[in-house]
Amino acid sequence: MSKNSTNRLMPLLMAVCVVVGIVVGTFYANHFSGNRLNIINSSGNKLNNLLRIIDDQYVDTVNINDLVEKAMPQILAELDPHSVYISARDGEIANDDLRGSFFGIGIEFTIRQDTIRVQNVIGNGPAERAGVIAGDKIVEVDDSIFVGKKVTNEEAMHRLKGPKDTKVKLGILRYGEKKLHHITITRGEIPTKSVTACYMLDQDCGYIKIRNFGENTYPELLIALAKLSQQSFSNLVIDLRGNTGGYLESAVQIANEFLSRGQLIVYTQGRAFPRQDYRADGRGSYQRLPLVVLVDESSASASEILAGAIQDNDRGTIIGRRSFGKGLVQKPMEFSDHSMIRLTIARYYTPSGRCIQKPYNNGNHYDDDWLTRYQHGEFFSQDSIKHTGPEYHTNNGRIVYGGGGITPDIFIPEDTLGVTSYYKEAAMSGLILQFAFTYTDDNRAKLSALKGVKEMETYLKRQNILEQFVVYADKNGLKRRNLMIQKSQKLLERFVISRIIYNIHSEQSWTEYLNQDDPVIKETLRLFHNEGAFPQKPVAGARGKNVAKAGDGRAIRQINTLIAHA
């Protein structure tokens, strides 16, 4: 039995080797010449012969294409954490957020109890015009039952999205009704927004939240700035917390708005790609505007390019916690079947010359970097930050570090006051989301009639919304713990109310509510009030450490990533 198992595994291992040879050989054959090409070709020919032998003589039928699909991710995983293979089926979805639009029906949805629940309907989109409303359950797609374990975000988006002007037939159950509604929707172009919030924090300070850096992020930012200009803003905060990045070019365009002519924004360099500098052209309209940029441990890639450019040029102040630490540049390369790879081709460097890519081992592993940071106490104390890279200096001579993210100028520790095991379980189990959605469904008409965030907050507190959640959670497996609930009261109530606000209104309303008592925002306003947004030259021999009071936890803001679009 053992011998037979070994014999069956050997061809699979050989097939993986074949795939390695094919991928590497094809890549180099298309991009290089000379002796290296001859070496790759000779190895590729050998492995191609082996592949033909397996296909011709192996005891069982082998689907070579399936082997390739399974092996490709593993091959790229040996390189670094960000070189990835994307199948033809997933390629469209993978690019939607960055393209600025996609073709679909125009809904935000979440999956609860193995069923698609419509979270929001995009105004004047195909779904709204066809009669879909928030709270609807989608149980059929094109006359096929679509409930149960097969209902995942990926599968739902695959079925609901599609080419423009194609049709999809949905079977919908509506709250309070037993009859199944059948609605046919003609797919259309659905915009996706990178700038998710834009409003005035006070009479002087404008606030812009950027979710990612896509094709349309820069024009969206210009529109947001124009809107704030109409309200006579004189200070600006750009919130990049939770922004995992996107296109380098978008980050460069945005940095250009705030930097003077000739100032370096970022440069890239790789083994096969010579250094390329990106500099400000001097045409930016906001070169002297007091500026603050907010980052946290989820801010990555293009977020770090923008934050690094502002910090190294002493153009503004960075507030928050140390960013993620992604300093690798990927190039998309598409195959004939529309599958693609994103291959790391270079590193990017901030103006001071630092690469902020954090260490990684075994190809795609960061060795639980977030857990390590947490255990070291980095989220709670600036003194606990472990810098692995050398020191660099900003234009003013301030010390900054490479080798692991952007360390903020003003550190805001994560809040642990009020965090209990009850709160953690309520937040991470999904019970708060489930309760908020159910409560919204049961009271949608009444909640929709309330005007603005403040009015809804006041109403929900009068309804003793926290006690309603505790009762709901107790019935669904989270035992009531009165002392813990009392200690976590503020956090729990804030979380529950924020989710109901999001369900009824928009991401901007959700952001406005969370920002009301956010210590990061309070510190930002304090800095502007003291006219301290522009960093000063350090005092000789001094290594200043700026620490503000505790900031809000990650769970409330990051939970919004559970919402999908179609």
The tokens for 302 are 């293009």
Q: How far is CA 207 from the centre of its chain?
A: 19
Burial class (CB in 10 A: 0-12, 13-18, 19+), 444: middle
72 contacts 19 by C-beta, under 8 angstroms: yes
| Residues involved in catalysis | 301, 312, 326
Q: How many CB atoms lie within 10 A of CB 217?
A: 26
Antiparallel, parallel or unpaired: β 291-295 and 317-320: parallel
Q: Which residues of 3-36 are buried (b: 16+ CB within 10 A; e: fewer)?
A: eeeeeeeebeebbbbbbbbbbebeebeeeeeeee
The three-point CA angle 85-308-373 to 5° equals 70
168 contacts 105 by C-beta, under 8 angstroms: yes
Residue 345's H or E segment, with its range, is: strand 340-349
Q: Minimal CA–CA distance to 496: which of 426, 552, 417?
A: 426
Q: How many CB atoms lie within 10 A of CB 322?
A: 26
The three-point CA angle 265-269-270 to 5° equals 155
Q: Minimal CA–CA distance to 491: which of 425, 548, 446?
A: 425
Residues 110, 113, 115, 121: what is their CA dihedral angle, to the nearest 10 degrees?
A: -30
391 contacts 401 by C-beta, under 8 angstroms: yes
Residue 178: DSSP 8-state: -
The phi and psi torsions of 118 (rounded to 5 degrees) equal -75, 115
479 contacts 421 by C-beta, under 8 angstroms: no
Burial class (CB in 10 A: 0-12, 13-18, 19+), 479: exposed
